[in-house]
């Protein structure tokens, strides 16, 4: 059990299914005193006497819901009892499945209140599960992320974290930090004696190991941010190479104007789409060239701005003409991770082998396509997937889906980097110990070891009622 939080020991009830008419509604109950407290509301359909011992653990019982105030039958229900500690919350728990008529549900909840059961606050079941050590905070938050997942990919990631994958990754960092702090504090205790000169090297090694473990989580934070914000993919290149044609192909309809006149596109064309479960903003831009034309100049300025900020750039060029020097420079400036070189109008090139890239761009991703015939577009989609979506280092199961988690891990990283700097500078161990404690505090917020009650209140308040 976790301290210093005090546990509430009353029985709570909450509707776990959405409000409104439904075939079945599920009401969850949790707290010591179950199933006794519920007995006045339950009747055996064949009149058998009910007692707490009558309930078989985790089996559905077909019972009548009885309204003792009106002295009448309310509904037929299926009732299940989970004795502690083998329940979601770790407390005695029950679930009532009745018919999902809002009036029936409202009456049942009123009767529950009448026998002394309190209506649950949002997330209170999960909070009790956390307090009884059934879930750590990463798992509780994975539950919330799973319930609110807007893409299947995010739901799968949350399911992995519910099994404890994120807790393991966070625990490894925390253990490393704890070991290190123990060592630094031991050094402090023996400060009067001569310090072993190997100590600092050892500290450095340990810090490097921690930073390596932490890298998985910071990359997981970056990817989690992308999943939330989506990615910006920009199509860039010289006028007339087929940027708008590719944009239309990827969007799936004729959205941008395509003509043989160079400089047709001036405004940015944007389209939101979901790519493998991740929101993507696809942007078609004005062709890059020097021009005296004011409107086009502004279009190019905007294009350059978007290219600079893009998560991924499809740098399009004419397969016959090859890459211009200015494009090579742009590709180098952006770096191979952010660029895919796309040779368009492959239909006009007789030799359809792989295009030779200049030496400077060896190692860049490149694809030959034709927006006219559609050739190479499947291959481009594959390359976009592997190149733009699989982030090196970010491991499945440690993708930080929530802003709170990302913020805590970034604070941990800052503190660990500061610790590394202090060791390199040979700074006093007292300061190092202080910084390590702040790193521990920050990483501890992820699994909930160092969460204050108010923070927990805030976290669980975002959950659903009945969860």
Ligand X SMILES: Nc1nc2c(ncn2[C@@H]2O[C@H](COP(=O)(O)OP(=O)(O)O)[C@@H](O)[C@H]2O)c(=O)[nH]1
- Which 229-258 residues touch Mg ion, going by CB under 5 A? 243-244
Instruction: Pick what 366 binds: Mg ion, ligand X, none; C-beta below 5 to 8 Å, kind-dependent.
Output: none
Nearer to ligand X, 27 or 342 (CB): 342
**What's the min distance (Å) between Cβ of 313 and Mg ion?**
15
**What's the min distance (Å) between Cβ of 258 and Mg ion?**
7
**What's the min distance (Å) between Cβ of 243 and Mg ion?**
5
Nearer to ligand X, 368 or 419 (CB): 368
**What's the min distance (Å) between Cβ of 310 and ligand X?**
17
Nearer to ligand X, 14 or 237 (CB): 237
42-43, strands of its sheet edge to edge: 42-43, 61-67, 72-82, 93-100, 22-30, 12-15, 118-119
312-318, strands of its sheet edge to edge: 269-275, 278-284, 231-237, 312-318, 339-344, 365-368
Nearer to Mg ion, 127 or 306 (CB): 306
SS3 213: helix
For 318-347, give the DSSP string. ETTT---HHHHHHHHHH-GGGEEEEEE-GG
For 278-303, give the DSSP string. EEEEEEE-PPP---S-HHHHHHHHHH
Nearer to ligand X, 380 or 408 (CB): 380
**Interacting span for Mg ion (CB under 5 A) from 167-175, 225-233, 261-269, 447-455:** 261-269
323-329: long-range contacts, CB 8 A cutoff, minimum separation 24:
323/357, 323/358, 323/361, 324/238, 326/288, 327/237, 327/238, 328/358, 328/360, 328/361
**What's the min distance (Å) between Cβ of 298 and Mg ion?**
15
Among 218, 238, 265, 269, binds Mg ion (CB under 5 A): 265
**What's the min distance (Å) between Cβ of 256 and Mg ion?**
6
User: From CA 272, how far away is CA 279, in angstroms rounded?
Assistant: 7
Residues of this chain that bind ligand X (CB under 6 A): 239-245, 258-260, 264-265, 287, 344-345, 347-348, 370-372
Nearer to ligand X, 61 or 289 (CB): 289
Q: Which residues bind Mg ion (CB under 5 A)?
A: 243-244, 264-265
């Amino acid at each position: 059990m976790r301290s210093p939080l005090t546990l509430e020991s009353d029985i709570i009830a909450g509707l776990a299914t959405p409000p409104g008419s439904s075939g079945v509604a599920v009401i969850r109950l949790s707290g010591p005193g179950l199933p006794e407290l519920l007995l006045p509301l339950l009747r055996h359909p064949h009149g058998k006497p009910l007692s707490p011992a009558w309930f078989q653990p985790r089996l559905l019982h077909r019972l009548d819901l009885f309204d003792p105030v009106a002295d009448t039958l309310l509904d037929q229900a299926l009732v299940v009892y989970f004795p502690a500690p083998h329940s979601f919350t770790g407390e005695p728990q029950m679930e009532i499945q009745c018919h999902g008529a809002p009036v029936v549900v409202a009456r049942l909840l009123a009767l529950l209140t009448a026998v002394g059961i309190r209506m649950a606050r949002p997330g209170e079941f999960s909070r009790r599960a956390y307090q009884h050590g059934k879930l750590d905070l990463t798992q509780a938050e994975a539950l919330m992320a799973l319930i609110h997942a807007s893409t299947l990919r995010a739901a799968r990631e949350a399911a992995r974290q519910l099994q404890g994958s994120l807790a393991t990754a966070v625990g490894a960092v925390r253990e490393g930090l704890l070991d290190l702090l123990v060592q630094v504090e031991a050094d402090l205790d023996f400060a009067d004696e001569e310090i072993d000169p190997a100590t600092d090297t050892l500290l450095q090694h340990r810090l490097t190991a921690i930073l390596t473990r932490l890298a998985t989580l910071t990359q997981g934070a970056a990817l989690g941010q992308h999943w939330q914000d989506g990615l910006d993919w920009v199509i860039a290149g010289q006028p007339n190479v087929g940027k708008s044609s590719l944009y239309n192909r990827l969007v799936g309809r004729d959205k941008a104007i395509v003509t043989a006149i160079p400089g047709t596109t001036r405004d940015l064309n944007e389209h939101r789409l979901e790519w493998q479960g991740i929101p993507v903003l696809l942007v078609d831009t004005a062709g890059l060239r020097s021009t005296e034309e004011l409107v086009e100049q502004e279009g190019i300025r905007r294009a350059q701005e978007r290219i600079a900020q893009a998560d991924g750039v499809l740098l399009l060029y004419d397969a016959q003409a090859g890459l211009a020097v200015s494009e090579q420079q742009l590709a180098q400036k952006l770096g191979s991770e952010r660029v895919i070189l796309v040779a368009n109008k492959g239909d006009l090139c007789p030799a359809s082998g792989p295009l030779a890239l200049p030496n400077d761009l060896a190692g860049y991703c490149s694809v030959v396509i034709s927006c006219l015939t559609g050739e190479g577009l499947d291959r481009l989609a594959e390359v976009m997937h592997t190149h733009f979506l699989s982030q090196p280092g970010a491991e499945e199961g440690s993708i930080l889906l929530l802003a709170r988690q990302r913020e805590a891990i970034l604070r941990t990283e800052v503190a660990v980097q500061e610790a590394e700097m202090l060791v390199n500078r040979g700074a006093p161990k007292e300061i190092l110990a202080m910084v390590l404690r702040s790193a521990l505090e920050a990483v501890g917020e992820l699994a909930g070891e160092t969460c204050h009650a108010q923070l927990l209140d805030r976290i669980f308040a975002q959950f659903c009622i009945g969860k």
